[in-house]
Structure 1
Amino acid sequence: MAIKSAALSNVGKIRANNQDSGYAGNNLFVVADGMGGHAGGDVASAIAIRRIRETDKPYTSPADAEFALQSSLIAANQLLAETVFEHQELTGMGTTVSAMMRVGDSVAIAHIGDSRIYLFRDGELSQITADHTFVQRLVDSGRITPEEAAVHPRRSVLMRVLGDVDAAPEVDTAILGTQPGDRWLICSDGLSSYLAEDRIRKALASELDPDAVARRLVKETLDHGAPDNVTVVVVDVDDSESSAAEVPTTVGSAAAPLTFEGEAGRRPLRLPTILLHPLKVATTPEDAHFEPESDEYLAELIAEDRRRARRRRISWLTALGIGIVIVVIAAIASYRWTQDHYYVGEQNGTVVIYKGVQSSLGPIRLSSVYETTTVKVSTLSTYNQQSVDDTINASSLKNARSIVERLADAAQ
């Protein structure tokens, strides 16, 4: 089966530099998202991609490719640790990696962090990798929903990355089958965190080639404000018996000369971005950071999350209680207001004075007979009978009684 691919990376509208890197080769496809801010996120992803892309070659079996990928990620982790040892200003840098190696009708996958691999097949989009984040742990345990995870204050906490933070990181690996018509997407969280899966599915479902799909995905993210770097690699599998070899493409920080000086400051906001997306681009997104996957730390974060949920429930209940009190007070005040009004009407052929207004709230009438008179409607003139049937508004009880007196005086 032939493979067609494309890779594209964009710094976004807020970040000062691109900490993402991506690679699309003949057999290997990978995305890395650096962490560590200006201290070396771009360096981390570039070093990882440059080391991992050395494995881009044919393999005799998917198992061999899986082992080669896993080994290259561990080697990249060691290289990052050595770099930090030589450049202490890069302490704490790290990177996520999501990589896929094609071997015949199979693919080997290696993954660590919160970049993602998606498979679009027969109109369905499936997320192949699992995020190694604290909020994903909460989602998996049923403590929060995916919607709550998207806005959780700890969503940037990574539990697994490559870098000098963990000497022996655990890398997820898998071997999956692939078939003609499959479209694979590897992306950094700059895409998956800001573009809904439905929009990702629609882009992948288009008849466009991989390059056009990649550009569409990046453009839609930019249209949504793109506060983070965004990198995508799109891979198509077709049933061609042979095809020309793809020209390997490296994008993002790995495509630039490797430097060890972070660019300080932030890119100035452009006016159209502020006007069109004021909420999405108001602040720079929080830098991802690593925390060891220890029981003590998880227990601390879970306890903190429970306290936050408790405060949130108390706030909602307080707001609900205040809302109910306001509604009740408003209802009482409105009802009392209606009872300050009077009008003259008819009941059982007799002119009566009603207290309230001529309307009802569901089954509740907002008026009642206040005073029955001795004036019969049949003794009134045709005009006055019609007026009483239609009711006559009065400004006060005294005014209502005056109206009744006039009607009695004019009775036949």
Structure 2
Amino acid sequence: MAANRAAAVSHVGKIRSNNQDSGYAGRGLFVVADGMGGHAGGDVASAIAVNRIREADREYESAGEAEFALQSALIAANSLLAETVFEHPELTGMGTTVSAMIRVGDQLALAHIGDSRIYLYRDGELKQVSTDHTFVQRLVDSGRITEEEAMVHPRRSVLMRVLGDVDASPEIDTWILDTKPGDRWLICSDGLSGVVKHDDLKAALASKEGPRQVAERLLKQSLDAGAPDNVTAVILDIADVAAGDVVKEPVTVGSAAAPLQFGSEPRPATRASRLPTLRLHPIRPATGPTHFEPQSEDYLDELIEEDERRARRRRLTWMIGLALLVIAIVAAGFIGYQWTQSRYFVGESPAGKVAVFQGVQQDLGPIPLSHVYEESTVRVDSLPAYDKQLVQQTINADDLASARAIVDQLSDAGGK
């Protein structure tokens, strides 16, 4: 049987005050959980989930058996989170994503909920094999927005499915995939996938370095890019022969690697009294949420409608701005034209006579900025050579009276 070469890393990032991610690389089980609920419980949620799910790290007769065990472990973790919230109300609203897989021979059983991701690098190609359970992914799937627009959408962090005190029976994606020697699997939180570009992920996973070196390289890339969120990555290599980084003892990273801490004494309660009221708890964390999960499909419709309203407002704002810009340009043009019409100069009329022009000598493209205001009876050809040249080049005047005085002087010089 092929050997497991794996590694797990986790970092708080450069913005967060605590690490709400948890990761686990075991003998056959590999998990990443990204907690939500702000400082009040994101770390607790991911730690509880991973600590419960890693109980499924054992040998299985088949991938189907492992798939069932994974699904059962996630549902059990969900119930445990709900019970924890009931006993510690200050944690209301906490939840966590989970992406996990169990290797059984040449197959992997996978389970996924939320927006952490599972990637497969095989034969020079990198593919995301999990589907984000996010609001924007729903928009992408329905054709409302593109993948590129989803990357910068203001609601890209809104989760539609998580483990937590939201649903007693959360919908969990589970499936089985074949794997082969040379495959490299990556499970990561969105602190990595949302920061490091796809091509950079691919380049790192294509490296001949071991899982530990690759995981640390991806972590460094995220930190170099600012790491606004916690960063966790678990890498599994499928190899015929073990060559370093072999998982001999399970490795736990992130919040699950530390003892759980709660802010208050638990209230006395029983599991039976908690489960019937799962859906009644509001999804409002005690302090600043990192994610938000709607409770029903009705809320999804509301979010879509709100998104469409925002798009309409953006279009209206853009149109109003454009209209104001056009009005400003027209107004400036009108004021400028009015100013030109307060100027006068003396020049040669189309009839070859000395004339007073209103406006300025320049034209604005095809638009003339001057016209003959008064035409004298003096022909330009009758003027002395010097005066003739001045008129043909135009003579500026301070005002209409000054222009008329210039014409009178030229009339005396050139005769009738």
TM bin (shorter chain): 0.7 to 0.9
Q: CA offset at residue 182 of structure 1?
A: 4.8
Counterparts of 2:383 and 2:208 in 1: how far apart (Å)?
82
The AA in structure 1 aligned to 2:231 is: V
Counterparts of 1:387 and 1:95 in 2: how far apart (Å)?
86
Q: Which has the larger Rg?
A: 2
The AA in structure 2 aligned to 1:398 is: A
The answer on 1:259 being equivalent to 2:261 is yes
Aligned to 1:280: none
Aligned to 1:399: 402
Q: CA offset at residue 22 of structure 1?
A: 1.4
Counterparts of 1:325 and 1:88 in 2: how far apart (Å)?
57
Q: CA offset at residue 373 of structure 1?
A: 4.2
Q: Sort the Cα spacing of 1:224 and 1:243 in 2 relative to 1 into closer, same or farther, 3 A.
A: closer
Q: Confirm or deny: 8 A CA contact 2:187 2:235 kept in the other structure.
A: yes
Q: How is 1:11-410 mapped onto 2 (pairs within 5 angstroms)?
A: 11-57=12-58, 59=60, 61-121=62-122, 125-146=126-147, 149=150, 154-178=155-179, 182-197=183-198, 200-201=201-202, 203-204=204-205, 210-237=211-238, 241-244=241-244, 245-247=246-248, 248-261=250-263, 286-292=289-295, 294-346=296-348, 350-380=353-383, 384=387, 386-409=389-412
Q: Sort the Cα spacing of 1:68 and 1:344 in 2 relative to 1 into closer, same or farther, 3 A.
A: farther
Q: Sort the Cα spacing of 1:102 and 1:395 in 2 relative to 1 into closer, same or farther, 3 A.
A: farther
Q: CA offset at residue 3 of structure 1?
A: 5.4
* TM-score normalised per structure 1: 0.78
2:52 aligned counterpart, secondary structure: helix
Q: Sort the Cα spacing of 1:235 and 1:352 in 2 relative to 1 into closer, same or farther, 3 A.
A: farther
| Two-structure CA RMSD over aligned residues (Å) | 3.6
Counterparts of 2:101 and 2:347 in 1: how far apart (Å)?
84
2:7 aligned counterpart, secondary structure: strand
Counterparts of 1:237 and 1:381 in 2: how far apart (Å)?
101
Counterparts of 2:28 and 2:124 in 1: how far apart (Å)?
25
Q: Confirm or deny: 8 A CA contact 1:31 1:233 kept in the other structure.
A: yes
* TM-score normalised per structure 2: 0.77
Aligned to 2:280: none
Counterparts of 2:210 and 2:309 in 1: how far apart (Å)?
49
1:120-158 CA distance string (max 9 Å, x none): 456654332222223332333334455655565554442
Q: Sort the Cα spacing of 1:338 and 1:215 in 2 relative to 1 into closer, same or farther, 3 A.
A: farther
1:317 aligned counterpart, secondary structure: helix
Q: Confirm or deny: 8 A CA contact 2:294 2:300 kept in the other structure.
A: no
The AA in structure 2 aligned to 1:288 is: H
Counterparts of 1:222 and 1:135 in 2: how far apart (Å)?
25
Q: Which runs of 5+ in 2 are unaligned?
A: 265-286
Q: Confirm or deny: 8 A CA contact 2:37 2:288 kept in the other structure.
A: no
The AA in structure 2 aligned to 1:338 is: T
Q: Confirm or deny: 8 A CA contact 2:114 2:132 kept in the other structure.
A: yes
Q: Sort the Cα spacing of 1:88 and 1:389 in 2 relative to 1 into closer, same or farther, 3 A.
A: same
Counterparts of 1:383 and 1:183 in 2: how far apart (Å)?
90
Q: Confirm or deny: 8 A CA contact 1:228 1:285 kept in the other structure.
A: no
Counterparts of 1:100 and 1:384 in 2: how far apart (Å)?
97
* % identity of equivalent residues: 64
Q: Sort the Cα spacing of 1:400 and 1:155 in 2 relative to 1 into closer, same or farther, 3 A.
A: same
Q: Sort the Cα spacing of 1:130 and 1:366 in 2 relative to 1 into closer, same or farther, 3 A.
A: farther
Q: CA offset at residue 346 of structure 1?
A: 4.1
Q: Sort the Cα spacing of 1:307 and 1:74 in 2 relative to 1 into closer, same or farther, 3 A.
A: same
1:109 aligned counterpart, secondary structure: strand
Counterparts of 1:359 and 1:122 in 2: how far apart (Å)?
68
Counterparts of 1:2 and 1:410 in 2: how far apart (Å)?
110
Counterparts of 1:3 and 1:386 in 2: how far apart (Å)?
96
Counterparts of 1:366 and 1:236 in 2: how far apart (Å)?
76
Q: Sort the Cα spacing of 1:334 and 1:257 in 2 relative to 1 into closer, same or farther, 3 A.
A: same
Q: Confirm or deny: 8 A CA contact 2:38 2:288 kept in the other structure.
A: no
Counterparts of 1:216 and 1:408 in 2: how far apart (Å)?
89
Q: CA offset at residue 96 of structure 1?
A: 0.4
Segment of structure 1 superposing worse, 162-171 or 80-89: 80-89
Counterparts of 1:75 and 1:104 in 2: how far apart (Å)?
25
Aligned to 2:272: none
2:358 aligned counterpart, secondary structure: strand
Counterparts of 1:375 and 1:210 in 2: how far apart (Å)?
96
Counterparts of 1:394 and 1:213 in 2: how far apart (Å)?
79
1:366 aligned counterpart, secondary structure: strand
The AA in structure 2 aligned to 1:51 is: R
Q: Sort the Cα spacing of 1:38 and 1:386 in 2 relative to 1 into closer, same or farther, 3 A.
A: same
Q: Sort the Cα spacing of 1:385 and 1:38 in 2 relative to 1 into closer, same or farther, 3 A.
A: same
1:288-335 CA distance string (max 9 Å, x none): 23332x233333334444444444444333333333322322222222
Q: CA offset at residue 31 of structure 1?
A: 1.2
Q: Which runs of 5+ in 1 are unaligned?
A: 263-283
2:321 aligned counterpart, secondary structure: helix
